[in-house]
Amino acid sequence: MTILDGKKISNDIKDEIAGEVTKIKKRGEKVPHLAAIIVGKDGASMTYVNSKVKACERVGFESSLFRLPHTVSELELLDKIEELNENDDIDGFIVQLPLPPQINTQKVLNAVDPDKDVDGFHPTNFGKMALDMTSFIPATPFGILELLERYDIPTKGKHTVVIGRSYIVGRPMSILMGRSGFPGNSTVTLTHEFTKNITQVTSQADIIIIAVGIPDFLKGEMIKDDAVIIDVGITRVPDDHAERGYVIKGDVDFENVSKRASFITPVPGGVGPMTVSMLLKNTLLARERHHKRAVDAKK
């Protein structure tokens, strides 16, 4: 069994991006600029956004963080998004989820300029991804593809089972794993809360990608020997014996599943670190597109 070390691969990617930024600086060009909007003071969101700011510092990106109160109106948030859309200095930005109940999340995500949508959530980017066109791939699925590629895990002709159908992970993964190319060319089964006899499905899978937010959902008896397991889940589970009063668990019963798997991601340290790195990679791609467009406009 091989651990898919997302922390190590994430650091490798950051080093590669930092190298690209050094070249950009040597040419005297503008470095990539990533911005984030965060509404309210949700602890998990704050931690995640702060990690993005630190990652930007590490690779040499400019970064901006816009904090809005929990009481912000939908109109005020849309005005801030429009402001960032029109700011030529910002290459890409994200709106941190979840948003408070007075705000229509889909309306907000649709308002982001697809050209700056480095989270890859805009329908334009999602549609392009589904059609195998150049687009921003959502950061978590992008990170999973990168892990599969860097560990050279065969996907062609394999049976991939995706558990969970969110538009952030499950649905894009089901599309990406069935696309032409590597990683891809696998036969995909998308499962969800209404799937009957799910063990019958998972026990036939060569690759399982799970993102349901239910700790220890995937048990050892639900997989076949030598399956590849990608665990996207991350949940704080109360534990009186833990120093912080909780432990972090994934959607996979790691102790038992790891005994049968050929490759497996740990939680934490697997998919999570990859998400931030791929957000940086999308921002670098956005900056390259904007720079090319500016150069072409001067010709």
* Chain Cα centroid distance, residue 53: 16
DSSP 252: B
Is residue 234 annotated as involved in ligand binding? Answer: yes
Quick count: other Cβ atoms within 10 Å of Cβ 8?
A: 13
Residue 105 CB burial class (10 angstroms; 0-12, 13-18, ≥19):
middle
* Chain Cα centroid distance, residue 172: 10
* Chain Cα centroid distance, residue 189: 20
Which residues on neighbouring strands pair with residue 229, listed in sequence order? 208, 264
Question: What is the dihedral sign for C-alpha 202, 188, 156, 130?
Answer: negative
SS3 163: strand
Distance CA(115)–CA(56), nearest Å, equals 19
Quick count: other Cβ atoms within 10 Å of Cβ 123?
A: 13
Is residue 164 annotated as involved in ligand binding? Answer: yes
Q: Where are the beta strands (DSSP E) in 55-123?
A: 62-68, 92-95
Measured at the CA of 110, the angle between CA 105 and CA 111, to 5 degrees, comes to 100
Query: Which residues carry out catalysis?
Result: 52, 96, 119
Q: Decide if 42 contacts 294 (C-beta within 8 A).
A: no
Strand 2-3 with 263-264, pairing: parallel
Distance CA(124)–CA(250), nearest Å, equals 31
Is residue 24 annotated as involved in ligand binding? Answer: no
* Residues contributing to the annotated binding site for NADP(+): 164-166, 234
* Residues contributing to the annotated binding site: 164-166, 234
